[in-house]
Structure 1
């Protein structure tokens, strides 16, 4: 431990989370892109997460405000990016996420698909794949937004099936459409448009779009690392490597370009903050929040011990390490919540944060129930506590 380094206490880390993640009422965001930028990116694997994460950080507005950002203004866009996971980011940040992370994922996706085509033995190759992609784009240009099923109906090539793992125990016959659509999306040539059904649906329509401007990968990684450090610092190389999915070499190169300052934490560990960001963080007013599964404030670090009691982890995470719906009080996870079939938002505390916390949490639960209205939310990744609460 280097006692000469500035100390950032656990309390100050929680102050930072409340203020910088715009969860305290006095610092909530006025726009959806601001709500995304404050945590760099919103998880989008589960359709409802984008909406509920943005809602928790906005001053006002219902689901239609977030739909407008996604599908009309296109000020918020989804990309297959960090950790090969779907995220929603503000449009100005998207080229940096694309160049730093999504490009490498798209290249790997293409190599994998071409390998499968070659192994299938139907003579499908890179030229065939290029033709199938162009036919899909032409169909979108002609008919407008379409689901995967509608694209398959319009493009004969997308109705083909290939065999994976031929001759092996796991041999399977599978359609090509989903893989071609995934590749076009990873390349930024199509994007998700309004789904069929409500905002909770994942049955997206697709639209043809222009790829993001090309940026140098190292420059883009430095930009993304700098933004992440401002949102999540103090944090470590391991935290950034986990969050991005980058190699440790890329993490260290990006951080070197940022030039972070080292600080010490209460447990004696050394962490990093943005250059000059070593001063005390003013405490926000007391605040409570009900955040959805996969919310960035719960998924931003590999080591979450400053805001989560390790004893509570089994109740709040699934077997794969995905966090479920959580209840927060002043920068600490104190419980979990769920929505029952009748629309009631129910919650359970895993500690005793006090009467003021319980009153604030009850108020937030009511506010969330009003916001949801007739919508019903079932997390894609279900956790033990969430299942218990709806049973």
Structure 2
């Protein structure tokens, strides 16, 4: 009969919401890399999956280097275990480096030398401006005709966006803030391969189509196909006519009753090719959550394993109101179902929720 969207969702929920209680490093390793260009997303993602996670625990894991954050696949920012970050670095090399070579107008060999130079320079923490100036100086010496590309446009991000650096807040311990970062070279735990990239995606998000893997990793389909040739996988037909692949011995599907407050760019959306996100949400609801104009995403509301709305706790004060919005023709979250998510939010951000309002929105 094949897999339905509900089947696919159940299998993915078993990976993204483990039943076990895990500390922060083990939790991040278990669920896989989290997209965190919004810095608080790592905090919120862990709180939604492991209620009781505290701000101090996440901060300590970052400070100790047992979880790391930096610009990797698709040019986005991810938080991951060091082992998984090495895999992301390989996916970034395949998916992003050809683009950077085109942007700068350099050869592949020159790009390798440039990145090696950047990583040697960033053996200590560097600001984005220091990295940009290093990039400009290197190009002035080795490829003068391309120097202008590093001064303007996307080229100015190359020095810290190639997957070889990690970042931390420049101002101190507020890892959940959007303040200025500094960057340092990431010491890879081991060499990774494209097979490792595919295996990581399936372990974190499967079952997945080859299109899901390619979109998530930011690599061409041919790269995925070549990696799959060396990997033992199981395939079943999906609801959209695509074949969905999984690793042998993967966990059985699970239900996820109740409500959760997910972060922006949560894996339930960003782990999949856009058409396949229907496993977790109605397409019209996804369009409402994800603005094509500015690329921003409203933090999703998850009810009974489906994305059915969004939430806000705006401001920087320690006391903030929480506004929860649910979409018409979906199940309204009960107020008591929000008690645990609210407590999880308070613990992981170190805030107090002063009030909770629940509003319906027509979509």
Scaled to the shorter chain, the TM-score interval is 0.7 to 0.9
- Residue 210 (structure 2) pairs with residue 237 (structure 1): yes
Instruction: String of CA shifts for 1:147-177, please: whole Å, max 9, x gaps.
Output: 335778999959x9xx9999xxxx999479x
In structure 2, do the counterparts of structure 1 residues 309 and 244 end up closer, same or farther at CA, with 3 Å as the change threshold? Answer: same
| Contact persistence 1:195–1:202 (CA under 8 A) | yes
Query: How far did 1:338 drift?
Result: 0.9
After superposition, residues 22-101 of structure 1 pair within 5 angstroms as 22=17, 27=19, 29-72=21-64, 74-101=65-92
| Contact persistence 2:132–2:159 (CA under 8 A) | no
Alpha-carbon distance in 2 for matches of 1:19, 1:37: 14
Q: Secondary structure at the match of 1:340?
A: coil
Relative contact order (C-alpha < 8 Å, sep 6+): which is higher? 2
Query: How far did 1:349 drift?
Result: 0.6
Alpha-carbon distance in 1 for matches of 2:116, 2:237: 56
Unaligned runs of 5+ in 2: 354-359
In structure 2, do the counterparts of structure 1 residues 195 and 346 end up closer, same or farther at CA, with 3 Å as the change threshold? Answer: farther
**What is residue 148 of structure 1 aligned with on the other side?**
128
Alpha-carbon distance in 2 for matches of 1:355, 1:181: 43
| Contact persistence 1:71–1:194 (CA under 8 A) | no
| Contact persistence 2:215–2:272 (CA under 8 A) | yes
Q: Secondary structure at the match of 1:191?
A: strand
**What is residue 357 of structure 2 aligned with on the other side?**
none
- Between structure 1 and structure 2, the one with the greater Rg is 1
Alpha-carbon distance in 2 for matches of 1:56, 1:28: 14
Alpha-carbon distance in 2 for matches of 1:244, 1:281: 24
Instruction: String of CA shifts for 1:63-111, please: whole Å, max 9, x gaps.
Output: 2222222232x12223432222222221122222222333653465366
- Residue 10 (structure 2) pairs with residue 19 (structure 1): no
Task: Point out the more displaced range, 200-209 or 48-57.
Answer: 200-209
Q: Secondary structure at the match of 1:305?
A: helix
Q: Secondary structure at the match of 2:328?
A: coil
**What is residue 260 of structure 1 aligned with on the other side?**
233
**What is residue 326 of structure 1 aligned with on the other side?**
300
Alpha-carbon distance in 1 for matches of 2:335, 2:63: 37
After superposition, residues 367-382 of structure 1 pair within 5 angstroms as 367-374=344-351
RMSD of aligned residue pairs (Cα, Å):
4.2
Unaligned runs of 5+ in 1: 116-124, 377-387
**What is residue 162 of structure 2 aligned with on the other side?**
186
